[in-house]
Chain A
């Protein structure tokens, strides 16, 4: 790990000023930044520690929404009774992520900003070519091992998947990112790789995530997060889905449904085609299965990750079944 200087910010303004300096990086929980510094991917000149700032770690449940300060820890958000009651998928996505130790360290702002686990991205010594790290250098994953790379939102320049779990629930339930001077809808916060995979979000130099706000909805209240992975715990998603469902008063017809996908796309992914296919429909096995197939519309697989094309619709269908059976005790 290259040497750097350490600055502990005592006010938000001081932090904002400090991160405007060339080579400065924000340090919150450090579980991505210190890891990537050890890999030689992050080479900060100055580390600006914001984890001691006051007033950024609150969690508030209002009649309209849930707001979460950027410095709230993953474990505190997961265990918050208001969040568990209003949006279970948010809590579940966090509890199924990383480990108890990491969840105690990692902040919500850092969680949203976590980087891909693409093994080529993480190993600059062995694989100099990576357009995300070094624009224009090529992509070592093309023709390499791509079992955990994305099938949605890829470009010929990068196929790295966004590894976050919480982000899947945030995109499904229309979260808004609070940057202090402006607020950005979660779905617009992330950029597709296109020919600039080094640019991942709309964050401008000097901007910081202050917090998140998630509007309450009947769909969020009746929601679940399903994560399928290579081992039972402490593993990133092979495929995951955050699904929320609101039925009409007849208890069978879909009024509102939200489907977010994880582990399969270059950014937190909203499967709007699945949602559109189900709104106004009466839920039954065949309808759910047919609509879930639409989750893979436009997917492009590599040789190692074609399994995701089969896996994702099954994960989506199972999550929809979970939220549709919980209340009524059986499919309509």
Chain B
């Protein structure tokens, strides 16, 4: 017997209605049910970070989160990061500028993780960035440029983060 439940999810500030089986993860709900495919599936087992999203402002792995668990919480994905007019977020811009990817598959997860890493105040040195970004693997080994991008964005983002906190 297939059970389905009705959910209303808040994603990037918009409400979405969907009917899914209770076992559907947030990752599969985003990709397969809502066609928000910016969030990537790497390992599907909590090991690579490709599926990183924010729930209530904190970075989490959507592959180990049930969609049902986040009803009533605020979800943010890579699609919600740029401005309404398409202006890139400082972290996105820094990744482009530093060429912080090769195939790009890990990149949305890296960027969502980096945004949170900077907001948490864990981008103070290269060593700290490496440690606090260690949950995002990059099969292409673009690590050096990723660290450079996070370092650059941390400098650019600090004033913007303050604005957010004040808002």
Interface residues of A (CB under 8 A from B): 1-6, 8, 27, 30-31, 34-35, 37-39, 47, 49, 51-52, 75, 98-102, 104-105, 232-234
Contact at B135–A4, with CB atoms within 8 Å? no
Which residues, 108 to 155 on B, are CB-close (under 8 Å) to A?
A: 113, 116-117, 120, 122, 130-136
User: Which residue on chain A has the smallest CB distance to residue B62?
Assistant: A101
Interface residues of B (CB under 8 A from A): 2-3, 5, 21-23, 25, 44-46, 49, 52, 58-61, 64-66, 68-69, 72, 113, 116-117, 120, 122, 130-136
Q: How far is the CA of A105 from the CA of B136 in the complex (A)?
A: 15
A81 smallest CB distance to B (angstroms): 14
Contact at A5–B64, with CB atoms within 8 Å? no
Given A6-B22, A38-B44, A105–B66 Cβ distance below 8 Å? no
Contact at B69–A102, with CB atoms within 8 Å? no
Q: How far is the CA of A114 from the CA of B108 in the complex (A)?
A: 29
Instruction: Identify A105's interface contact among B25, B61, B133, CB under 8 A.
Output: B61
- In the bound complex, residues from chain B placing their C-beta under 8 Å from that of A232 are 134
Contact at B113–A100, with CB atoms within 8 Å? yes
- In the bound complex, residues from chain B placing their C-beta under 8 Å from that of A38 are 44-45
A228 smallest CB distance to B (angstroms): 16
Contact at B117–A102, with CB atoms within 8 Å? no
Q: How far is the CA of A16 from the CA of B144 in the complex (A)?
A: 49
| Cross-chain pairs A/B with CB under 8 angstroms, 14 sampled | A6-B5, A27-B66, A27-B69, A34-B66, A38-B45, A49-B66, A49-B69, A99-B49, A99-B136, A100-B59, A100-B135, A101-B60, A105-B61, A234-B134
Contact at A34–B49, with CB atoms within 8 Å? no
A231 smallest CB distance to B (angstroms): 9
B25 smallest CB distance to A (angstroms): 7
Select the residue from A99, A104, A232, A234 with max chain B CB neighbours within 10 A: A99
Instruction: Identify B45's interface contact among A4, A35, A233, CB under 8 A.
Output: A35
Q: How far is the CA of A167 from the CA of B59 in the complex (A)?
A: 24
Contact at B58–A104, with CB atoms within 8 Å? yes
- In the bound complex, residues from chain A placing their C-beta under 8 Å from that of B134 are 99-100, 232-234
- In the bound complex, residues from chain B placing their C-beta under 8 Å from that of A102 are 46, 61, 64, 135
User: Which residue on chain B has the smallest CB distance to residue A31?
Assistant: B64
- In the bound complex, residues from chain A placing their C-beta under 8 Å from that of B68 are 6, 8, 49
Select the residue from B68, B69, B72, B131 with max chain A CB neighbours within 10 A: B69
- In the bound complex, residues from chain A placing their C-beta under 8 Å from that of B122 are 100
Q: How far is the CA of A37 from the CA of B46 in the complex (A)?
A: 13
Sorted from nearest, which 3 A-B pairs have the closest CB atoms? A99-B135, A6-B22, A233-B134
Contact at B46–A31, with CB atoms within 8 Å? yes
Select the residue from B52, B58, B72, B120 with max chain A CB neighbours within 10 A: B58
- In the bound complex, residues from chain A placing their C-beta under 8 Å from that of B135 are 98-102, 234
Q: How far is the CA of A193 from the CA of B67 in the complex (A)?
A: 36
Given A6-B68, A38-B44, A233-B131, A104–B23 Cβ distance below 8 Å? no
Contact at B3–A3, with CB atoms within 8 Å? yes
A284 smallest CB distance to B (angstroms): 33
Q: How far is the CA of A131 from the CA of B132 in the complex (A)?
A: 37
Q: How far is the CA of A3 from the CA of B3 in the complex (A)?
A: 8
- In the bound complex, residues from chain B placing their C-beta under 8 Å from that of A8 are 68
Given contacts A101-B61, A233-B130, 16 further A-B contacts (CB under 8 A): A4-B23, A31-B64, A34-B65, A38-B44, A47-B22, A49-B69, A51-B69, A99-B49, A99-B135, A99-B136, A100-B135, A101-B135, A102-B46, A104-B60, A233-B131, A234-B135
Q: How far is the CA of A30 from the CA of B64 in the complex (A)?
A: 6
Instruction: Identify B21's interface contact among A3, A37, A233, A234, CB under 8 A.
Output: A3
Instruction: Identify B22's interface contact among A3, A98, A101, A104, CB under 8 A.
Output: A3
User: Which residue on chain A has the smallest CB distance to residue B54?
Assistant: A104
Instruction: Identify B117's interface contact among A3, A100, A233, CB under 8 A.
Output: A100
Instruction: Identify A101's interface contact among B44, B59, B69, CB under 8 A.
Output: B59
Select the residue from A31, A105, A233 with max chain B CB neighbours within 10 A: A105
Q: How far is the CA of A75 from the CA of B133 in the complex (A)?
A: 14
Q: How far is the CA of A30 from the CA of B135 in the complex (A)?
A: 17
- In the bound complex, residues from chain A placing their C-beta under 8 Å from that of B136 are 99
Q: How far is the CA of A92 from the CA of B102 in the complex (A)?
A: 34
